[in-house]
Amino acid sequence: MGANDLNTIGQSIRRKEDYRFLTGAGQYTDDVNPPHHAHVFFLRSPHAHAKLGKIDTTKAKAALALLRSTPVRT
């Protein structure tokens, strides 16, 4: 560690991406929309440690572009 390295401690670092995001030109991962990508949706119980008897997935399976409807038991 040289003497010049100690001069940067506590100093602001100018980042390359700052200008893009401050001016609204930056692209976030939520802005990326590739063709044929899938979304995921998780429905959780509002009750902690609840035991679910049955999950009715008929409406989900009737959806036009549903890839999979899988109840997950943990």
Instruction: Please indicate whether residue 3 or residue 71 has the higher confidence score (pLDDT).
Output: 71
Q: What is the pLDDT of residues 7-58, one digit of tens each?
A: 778 888 877 778 888 888 888 888 888 887 777 777 778 888 888 788 777 8
pLDDT at 51: 81
In this prediction, residue 69 has a pLDDT band, given cuts at 50, 70 and 90, of: low
0.95 cut: is pTM over it?
Answer: no
**Cα distance between residue 58 and residue 61, in whole Å:** 5
Q: Which residues contact 17 (CB under 8 A, 6 or more apart)?
A: 26
| CA terminus-to-terminus distance, the chain | 50
Task: Say whether pLDDT at 1 is over 60.
Answer: no
pLDDT at 27: 85
